[in-house]
Structure 1
Amino acid sequence: MKGLLRGVILLGVMAGGAYAGLRVWPIGDTPSRITLEGDARRGAYLARASGCVACHTDTAADGPALAGGAPLDTPFGSFAPPNITPDFAHGIGGWSKDDLARALREGISPEGAPYYPAFPFEFYAGFSDQDIADLWAALASVPPVAETRAESDVAFPFSIRAGLKPWRATALREAETAPVLGRSEEWNRGRELVDGAAHCGACHTGRGLLGGLDARPFGGNDDLPGGSAAPSIRADDLREEGWTASALAYALETGITPSGDVFGGSMAEVVEQGTSFLDEADRRAIATYLLDATLAPKASDALAQLR
């Protein structure tokens, strides 16, 4: 009996030590101070492209803009997009540009706590200082809303935020959005949007047991929040379904597919609150990139690489 008691005490001490170690485990980089002035108009455009409005506004309940979105139900719990209006008590009125930069690029709160990957910060890592300044200016122009519309409800042990630190070390993958030499300006702009701000892979890529993105991008996801699904948007699959660059760009504006059907579920919201506000050149760039980026290599190309 004493041996069992000692074992329980030892396990408790080890667990406590591990938890304490996780809490002090440093994450992120020391951010450089952002002193640039922002352009609120450009920031509003980036906010639309990045899904800020769609996610942080409860449109179904006719909620105020950016005052908090509808909860996202996942296997790990329910995540409520927070109020990001400039209200000091309920929003981000007490933040600085540097706080916003750290949240978007690194997924770390002003207090140093890691954010859950329900917030797709991994796709925003490439935002420039000017992008951050512009977004900050846009968010500062929104009327403050003194309310919290919902609270996250995350199940144990996922509710222990310190546990996200080893997850970040093993599963977190930052998006690659830098221009590729030899590709057109349009293709590279599409890459910047699809793999960055628009974070298409957050929904259209499957996730593993711990929530990390699968190695095969854009292959579809049958386990989205709320039990919905997102189809494959790999180039071969899109072409097989009859998509062309013109049709895809038009669908991103109107929600109407080549068959005359309309997008439903979360994609309808993405169009209504996001891509329909983009200019035609950006919608065309997204379509151009998606219909080319994931094409399977031709046999002749593969043979050429072996030579």
Structure 2
Amino acid sequence: MAARMRRFLTTAVLFVAVAGTAAWFLTRPEPWPASHWEGLGEPDVANGALVFSAGGCVSCHARPGAVEGEAQLVLSGGLALKSDFGTFHVPNISPDETAGIGGWTLAEFGNAITRGVGPHNEHLYPSFPYTSYARLTAKDVNDLFGYLKTLPKSPDVAPSHELPFPFNIRLALGGWKLLFYSDAPRVTVDTSNPKLARGQYLVEGPGHCGECHTPRNALGGFEPGQWLAGAPNPEGKGRIPNITPGSKSIGSWSEGDIVTYLETGFTPDFDSAGGSMVEVQKNMAKLPASDREAIAAYLKAVPAVQ
């Protein structure tokens, strides 16, 4: 009997060890190989500024209360993002060497922004939209990093996230990524058309439009087949609208209407952008006209969702 029990316990321990090793292997952080960030040369800071605008970095990382001008370029973080999983506090991404990312390498920055892997090889929470930024090219990441280094330093340290168990266990994020992280296109459009290809890159990548405009399941992943179909407002009241061609309101807009809205904030019926879209529109207005046209073309080409 004792020998049989020992064999059972030994088998159980081996099973747990093998299962644990397999789980770790499947859910471990996966940064890019070092070669991905090599040979990029000096960053194009002017392009980095455009990536910065397209990515809406100011909207979350500017010091709370900074509403315009140079004040918004002090990226001290601190904004509290409330969610069903707890409260996330946006970090300092100024070039301060201690409080911000001034001591980071390009690889550390790039892996954080596109792979959700922090400088200590830890999983990052997807409140930071790396599931969209995953589509950024290495060149755009290099240019963005170069631009961020030109901005003012801030010594402010953002509070730690306030997350209940089990959401405070970062290891579990590896399982979440296994389910929901991908750098594949969200939908199929004719990427042989340069305008559509550019629009897809901007909307699905740096613009991270789906983060607000796509509904999510109970685990926080996007609902399949509902790309840009509208979702509950993460700030509380109302809904973020459906922006596919199947929308009852925006679906009737022409490409020109969308371009004008992104440039000026005015809708075809002379209404204006409101809520968090105000900041998004201001960022879009800083892009070249060709980029706003590409975004409009893509939005008219995505599958219509009623």
Q: Is the 8 A contact 1:178 1:192 kept in 2?
A: no
The one-letter amino acid of 1:34's match is E
Of residues 217-226 and 181-190 in structure 1, the stretch that sits farther from structure 2 once superposed is: 181-190
Match among 171, 176, 179 for residue 167 of structure 1? 176
Q: What is the CA RMSD across the aligned residues, in angstroms?
A: 2.8
TM-score by length of 2: 0.83
How many angstroms apart in 2 are the aligned matches of 1:241 and 1:171?
28
Match of 1:68 in 2: 77
Q: Is the 8 A contact 2:45 2:143 kept in 1?
A: yes
Q: 1:182 to 1:229 in 2, by over 3 A?
A: closer
Deviation at 1:170, TM superposition (A): 1.6
Cα deviations across residues 6-59 of structure 1 (Å, max 9, x unaligned)? xxxxxxx9xx989x8677852214422434210111101101101112221145
Deviation at 1:175, TM superposition (A): 4.4
The one-letter amino acid of 2:279's match is E
Match among 26, 30, 33 for residue 28 of structure 1? 30
Q: 1:44 to 1:29 in 2, by over 3 A?
A: same
Of residues 233-242 and 253-262 in structure 1, the stretch that sits farther from structure 2 once superposed is: 233-242
Q: 1:122 to 1:181 in 2, by over 3 A?
A: same
Q: Give matches, 1:1-307, under 5 Å.
A: 26-31=28-33, 32=35, 33-36=37-40, 37-58=42-63, 60-62=65-67, 64-65=72-73, 66-176=75-185, 183-215=192-224, 216-237=226-247, 242-272=252-282, 274-295=283-304
Cα deviations across residues 199-258 of structure 1 (Å, max 9, x unaligned)? 111110001101011112011111424455211111121676531111111111121111
Judging by fraction of residues, say which structure has more helix. Answer: 1
Of residues 76-85 and 52-61 in structure 1, the stretch that sits farther from structure 2 once superposed is: 52-61
The one-letter amino acid of 1:153's match is E
How many angstroms apart in 2 are the aligned matches of 1:168 and 1:229?
26
- Aligned identity (percent) is 34
How many angstroms apart in 1 are the aligned matches of 2:121 and 2:191?
40
Deviation at 1:184, TM superposition (A): 2.1
Of residues 96-105 and 176-185 in structure 1, the stretch that sits farther from structure 2 once superposed is: 176-185
Task: Give unmatched runs, 5+ long, in structure 2.
Answer: 1-12
How many angstroms apart in 1 are the aligned matches of 2:52 and 2:138?
15
Q: Is the 8 A contact 2:247 2:304 kept in 1?
A: no
Q: Is the 8 A contact 2:245 2:302 kept in 1?
A: yes
Task: Give unmatched runs, 5+ long, in structure 1.
Answer: 1-12, 297-307
Q: Is the 8 A contact 1:124 1:197 kept in 2?
A: yes
TM-score by length of 1: 0.82
Q: Is the 8 A contact 2:242 2:250 kept in 1?
A: no
Q: Is the 8 A contact 2:245 2:252 kept in 1?
A: no
